[in-house]
Structure 1
Amino acid sequence: MGLELYLDLLSQPCRAVYIFAKKNGIPFELRTVELLKGQHFSADFAQLNPLKKVPVLKDGDFTLTERPWVLAAKSSKADPSWLHGASAWRRQWGRSSSRRPMRSS
């Protein structure tokens, strides 16, 4: 199974992820999650992201649920020289209390 993106294109963060994938020629299956209909609150979606937020990237059994990490993972699909996998990203980047990625020194 290929890369799956769970997005609502009414959401600016989701559009950023969508545009990035299209611009870089990264193949993906679009799984629309309609926020206005509350689909992100469903039990099925909560299994993907317990925080019930979009975007979500699913690549096989690997799932990312925060926009900066989704963009970073897709960058690795566009350019194989990028670090791969969650453990590589955790080594490369730390996390701040504001939940924004920070470069660890």
Structure 2
Amino acid sequence: MENDAVLIQRPPGGGAFEIRTPHAIAAVRGTEYIVDVTLEQTSVFVVRGKVAVSRANGSETVLLTQGEGADVAPGVPFAPVRWGVPRAEALLARFGR
């Protein structure tokens, strides 16, 4: 796998749900978010709601809110970052949004 992404839409109260990649765990908190995976990193972007993101081993958890993303790669610090419009729109366009 070189590059893959998935758009998740979960209504609030939909129960526990998470996406696991080689770099990160993205745990849903009733939301709409995108997980984009490459060989080098996993990027998580929140369209609506909240998503907890941690390293694949469960460490270093951060909470992302609407408009925020995080890039998780081995050995590189990560934190919630408000994504710029061009980056967010480019990712959303992959899903016809």
Please identify the structure whose Cα radius of gyration is greater: 1
Select the structure with the greater relative contact order (CA < 8 A; seq sep ≥ 6).
1
Looking at secondary structure, tell me which structure has more helix per residue: 1
**Greater fraction of residues in strand:** 2
User: Fold-level match, TM-score > 0.5?
Assistant: no
**How high is the TM-score relative to the length of structure 1?**
0.30
TM-score by length of 2: 0.32
